[in-house]
Each structure stands twice: as structure tokens, then as C-alpha cells.
Amino acid sequence: MKTLIPLMVAALLFSGCANVKPWQRDLLAKEHMALDSDPLRSAFNDHIYFSKEASSGGRGFGGGGCGCN
Amino acid sequence: MQLNKRKPVAVSLALATSALLNQTAAAAEDWQVDTGLLIYSESDSRVSATEPVISVTRNFADESSVSARLTLDSLSGASPNGAAVAAIPQTFTSASGIARLQKAEDDDDDDEIEEYGDRAYYVTQAGDTPYDENFEDNRTTLSLSWLRPLDNGFKLNLGGAYSTEGDFTSYSINTALSKDLAQNNTTLSLGVNLEFDEVAPDSGIPQPLTSIIAADTASNTDTKQVTDLVFGITQVMTRRWVTQLNLSLSQSSGHHDDPYKFLTVADQGNLIEDPNDNGLDGVTTYLYLYEHRPEDRQKISLYLQNKVAVFSNDAVDISYRYMTDDWGIDSNTFDLTYHLDVAGQFYLEPHFRYYEQTAADFYTPFLELGTDVSMSGTEINALVDYASADPRLGAFSATTYGMKVGVPLFRSHELSLSYEAYQQQDKNSYRETAAGSDLDGQDQFAELSANWIQVGYSFRW
């Protein structure tokens, strides 16, 4: 439960944000504005860092599915 | 990807919030194909890898989608074996080399005997980092994913992955549920991933913290299970700004040892002859013990990403990740990418990443006789519960500089090329050794330097 608290606080903070209307999403709609705009490249990089460092995940699941770490 | 097609609002939000679900929604029924090739190499002839990947996604009109990704990975080269750098030459027996030689002899295969005859033993010269040169593996990974919108703004994602290589097999299944709120300005997500891994080295699972010459095996195979939980919030902050906050919890239980890594045992900084040495004639074989890591590992990480539109076609992407685990490792990762549109013809993405981690509590560049290991005759006992000299568990920082060029081609086709250069810096405190001893003044951490090129080609139809 403790771990949920920061997220609930963040949700409350975010809920006070400016309400962006659907017709104002012209910039956010661009493909390069996707949070992960190049999933293949992200996967390559995540796999390299997973193999060479002690951290993984963050953006998504931290698993690696390989014997390299 | 920068496709010129303008997308409806509902889709744009799905795009912006789909990172956790690892999916890209589409406006109408179509296929999306992403292909890539990674060419990776490390300096000092360490590991090099070639990795082709293809991902195919079928998008349906109801915004559901199915995707499959196949990755092939071919690796070879040298990997640090964990032994300390010394001022004298060191001869190592290679467990995998011996196992393969043994098999070749059993099979009476002359070609294999010739190939592996030289690999069963290898020598590291004075002052050089000891590498096991026999590292070679091929990996195949297949992952599948299904995304489906439900009622009331919910979306469900189901996925799974299978990965196999010579000595390792991994299976995982995952599910994620997300909910759009506040006129699609907020998305809450919850994801679970379950992974099951099996490790099966040719030479068996070594008995931890025992001499590599004794070659005692604990078993032929061992397993571990990993459970990951990810809670996420994605928030549209302004017309130009979207942010994501993820909290991840990970629990890993089972076998974490690297079966190919060991540690030097030193006496006042000098290498010790292994009392069990019955190997090579005329060659001194020193004492090295197989590493051992705890059976459980819990990790918590917090990830914050901000994506901000600049001008009408540029964007800046800034992210930060903090990770802490119960092995004593804390890490900070800072990542910055700028998307620069060049006259609507192509784009550039300069990239910078900084990473730093503290060492695991049981990380040590070598073991000291008396404090860490006791020896009486041929009897060797570890006085520590866990120990590893794997550089990945040491303290270091690392910087990556990269550049990507993307060229949109005809009708939703895009070609991209990127280059990244990675350099580690040692941040471990130096473990003192006696003046004039074998280990005195030698490097205690092998800093990794690597670079890689990625070529990508994507299209829709």
C-alpha cells in the first residue's frame, strides 16, 4: 500500500492540470510525440543496458529473458 | 517514426499513452511492419553482436491490435571471467571448454576435439584483464501481444514471450489494464509480468564458492522466477506537454549466479596455488572460487518521463529513473533526446544518457585469505555468504552519446539510422593490497567501452 501513495498523490496533483480539449491535440498527435516513438530502438537499447548494468525496466517491465545478467 | 498521416484525437491519445502497453493504435485497419538490425561491438575485442528483429502489428478498426516480434541475437567474443588483474600470467581452465572437449572425445569427433582442445585452458598475460574468450551464443526471442479496448475507457493488453539460447530458456506472460480519465487527459495503468527462467550450462551449475578446478557441480540446471508490477500515470499537462510516472516493483527468486564467473583468492595481495591442482604439467594454477549471489532480489524503481513539443515539429524528451534494490545497488539514469525536424524532409535526434550505480554489498574485486576464505590443506571454505566480481555489480557511471537520422519516404515508409557510443567509468573504492604483491597497483574494474549502430525500416499498408 505504501508504494501506491506516491502515485495517488501524483494523480491528485495531475487532476488539477489544464484540461486540454480534443481539438487542441494537434501537437500531441504527432508520432514523434508518442512516449515511446521508436519501440524497436527502445527494445535494442534496453536489452544492451540490461546486459551491462544492474538496473532494468522503468519505462515498462524490467525482465530481460536472457542469460546475460 | 514520423509518419505524415494526421491522426484522430482518440488515436493520438492512445499513441501518447501506449508506452506501458507497448502497442501503437491505428486509425483504421492496417498492418504495421517494423524491421531493424543492431550491430554491437565492444572495445578490446570483447563481445560483438548482430541482432535482426522484425515486428508485425495488425491494427483493427475497433482499435484492438495483435502484434508479434521476432528477435535473433548472435553473440561472440570475450567476457571478463571475474578474476583479478595480476602482475604475473594466469592460466585458467574453462569449464565450458572442458565440457565441450569431453563431449567431443565421447563422440570421437576429431574436428571438435581439435577446436576445443585449445579452449579448455587459456592464459591471461601479466597486467591484462582476464577474459574468457569462449563466449559464443545465439538467442531467439518471440513475443506476442494483444491489445483490446473494453467499455468505459478501459484497455486490456495480454502478452507473452519465449526466449531461448544455448544455456538459457525464458518464458513470460504479462497483462496490463489501463483506464482513460478526465476527457482522456489522464491514463492510469497497472501491469503484471511473470517470468520463468531456466539456466543449463554445458558444464552444469557449479557449486558456489568452491574452487574452479574441483569443478563440483550442484546440479545440471537451475531456475528463477521473476514477478514485476508496474503502476503508471500518463497525464496530458498542456497542449505541448505530456508526462508519465511509473512505479515498478520486482521480485526475483531462485538462481542468480553467473555460472561462468569466479573470484581470485589472494594472500596479502599474492595469488595462491590451488591445493587441488592436478591439472596441467608445469603450469601453476591459482585458486579461484565460483561466485555466489543471494537467492532473492527485490527492486523498486521510479520512472518519470516528460515529452514537450517545441515549435511546430520538434520535441524534447527528458526522463529520469531511480532504482534501488536489496542487494545494495542504487542507480540513477538520466536520458535526454531532442527531435529536430529539418525542413520537413528528415529529422535528427541527438541523444545523451547518464547512468550511475552503487556496488552490490557482496561485490568485491577479489577474496582475501583469512578474512573471506579459510584454507587448511586441500580444504577450502568461504567465510562469506555471497561474493561476486562481476563488473555489472560494481560501482560505475556510464555515458552514452547518440544520434539518429530518420527519413520519411513514400506512403508511410521510413528509414532510420542511429549510432550510440557508450563508456563506463570506475567508481569503486580501491581494495588495498600489500605493496609489491601480485595485485598491487593493478586495475580492479574493467571499464566497458562499446558502440552500436541500428538500422530501421518501417511501413504501414
Nearest CA in chain A to B11: A29
B182 located within any domain: yes
Q: Quick check: A40 and B422 CB within 8 A?
A: no
The mean pLDDT value for A9-26 works out to 72
Chain B residues lying within 8 Å of A46, measured CB to CB: none
Q: Quick check: B452 and A48 CB within 8 A?
A: yes
Nearest CA in chain A to B394: A54
Rounded-to-integer distance, Cα B288 and Cα B208, Å: 11
Residue A6 has what pLDDT?
62
- The candidate with the shortest Cα–Cα distance to B79, out of B391, B395, B382, is B391
B119 located within any domain: no
Residue A12 has what pLDDT?
55
Higher pLDDT among residues B293 and A15, named by residue: B293
Rounded-to-integer distance, Cα B277 and Cα B285, Å: 6
Joined together, the cell numbers standing for residue B233 give 500515470
B113 located within any domain: no
The one-letter code for the residue type at B121 is Y
B116 located within any domain: no
- B40 → closest Cβ in A28, A48, A59: A48
B394 located within any domain: yes
Residue B223 has what pLDDT?
96
B411: left (phi over 0), alpha (psi -120 to 50) or beta: left
Residue A39 has what pLDDT?
93
Write down the ipTM of this complex.
0.89
Show the domain range for B82. 9-89+125-460
Residue B215 has what pLDDT?
73
pLDDT band for position A8 (cuts 50, 70, 90): low
Q: How many domains does chain B have?
A: 1
Residue A63 has what pLDDT?
60
B96 located within any domain: no
Residue B45 has what pLDDT?
79
Residue B430 has what pLDDT?
95
10-residue mean pLDDT profile of chain B (461 residues): values are 38 39 57 97 92 97 96 92 96 70 77 69 92 86 96 95 94 97 94 96 91 86 96 96 97 95 96 80 85 97 98 97 98 98 96 98 98 94 97 98 96 95 97 96 96 97 88
Rounded-to-integer distance, Cα B461 and Cα B1, Å: 15
Residue A11 has what pLDDT?
58
- A33 → closest Cβ in B73, B195, B242: B242
Q: Quick check: B6 and A29 CB within 8 A?
A: yes
Chain A, 8 to 47: residues with Cβ < 8 Å from chain B are 10-11, 14-15, 17-41, 43-45
pLDDT band for position A61 (cuts 50, 70, 90): confident
Residue B280 has what pLDDT?
55
- The CATH number of residue B308's host domain is 2.40.160.40
Contact B398, B427 (CB under 8 A): no
Nearest CA in chain A to B363: A54
B107 located within any domain: no
Interface with B, mutate which of A28, A47, A50 (most B CBs under 10 A): A28
